[in-house]
């Protein structure tokens, strides 16, 4: 990978990180007083579903923020684009599709196959 490609990944990852951090900062999860704000059980159930979905989204975004920070660290360390399992170069095409990846497609597929078999 050349320096220009590496710099473009750094810019992309920093942009994604900033966007996610801002989005999480503005997310509104309020504790709702069911007795005061809802008239019936259907409203309560709907509000609970909405809150649970928002919490799952925030959790997913937090995990992505962690992956982005790790990818940026790999750029700083000079290990970005190198598979953490086999040490081979990760193709730029894969990095463009998934900039936070730390594994080549072969190693990732083996890991996922193992997880399916082992039930993890």
57-91 pLDDT, tens digit per residue, is 889 999 999 999 999 999 999 999 999 999 999 99
Give the pLDDT score at 48: 81
Q: Which residues contact 107 (CB under 8 A, 6 or more apart)?
A: 83, 85, 86
Give the pLDDT score at 83: 98
Sequence-separated contacts (24+) of 95-98 with Cβ below 8 Å:
95/1, 95/9
Give the pLDDT score at 15: 96
CATH 1.20.120.910 in the chain: give the residue spans: 1-80
CB 7 within 8 A of CB 34: no
Residue 29 above 60 pLDDT?
no
Give the pLDDT score at 6: 95
What sign results for the dihedral spanned by CA atoms 51, 27, 96, 88? negative
> Binning pLDDT at 50, 70 and 90, where does residue 31 land?
very low
Q: Mean per-residue pLDDT for 3-10?
A: 95
CATH number of 1-80: 1.20.120.910
Q: Which residues contact 50 (CB under 8 A, 6 or more apart)?
A: none
Query: pTM here?
Result: 0.78
Q: Which two tokens stand for residue 54?
A: 């928002």
């Amino acid at each position: 990978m050349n320096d220009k490609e590496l710099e473009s990944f750094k810019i992309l990852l920093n942009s994604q990180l900033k966007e996610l951090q801002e989005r999480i900062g503005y997310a509104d999860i309020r504790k709702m007083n069911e007795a005061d704000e809802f008239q019936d059980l259907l409203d309560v159930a709907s509000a609970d579903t909405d809150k649970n979905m928002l919490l799952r989204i925030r959790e997913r975004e937090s995990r992505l923020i962690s992956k982005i920070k790790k990818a940026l660290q790999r750029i700083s360390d000079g290990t970005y684009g190198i598979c953490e399992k086999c040490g081979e170069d990760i193709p730029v095409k894969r990095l463009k599709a998934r900039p936070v990846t730390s594994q080549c497609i072969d190693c990732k597929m083996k890991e996922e196959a193992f997880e399916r078999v082992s039930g993890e």
